[in-house]
Amino acid sequence: MSSADRFDRFVEDRGGALWSAAWLLTSDPHSAEDLVQTALMKCYGRYPRFDSDRAFEAYVRTAIYQTYVVLVA
């Protein structure tokens, strides 16, 4: 399975949980979706460097928070 296919599967499996985390920050479903998409775009190139999806999810969650802080500041 290619890295792109594994990334797609990661997003399919964990996208809902990532959206929920973003929604807790934004309290708006559309902003949460935008925040997750932005974080995933920022993190996409790093995906192959992670040994597990669990570690990558933590990385994406950090990117979600950092992106939110920059947008709000």
Phi (first) and psi of residue 28, to 5 degrees: -140, 125
pLDDT at 52 over 90: yes
Which domains are present in the chain? 3-72 (1.10.1740.10)
Residue 67 pLDDT grade (very low, low, confident, very high; cuts 50, 70, 90): very high
Give the HSE-up count for residue 56: Cα atoms under 13 Å, Cβ half-sphere.
24
Report pLDDT digits (tens) over 8-49: 999 999 999 999 999 999 999 999 999 999 999 999 999 999
Place of tokens 């920050």: 25
Contacts of 11 (CB under 8 A, 6+ apart): 40
pLDDT at 73 over 80: no
Q: What is the pLDDT of residue 72?
A: 86
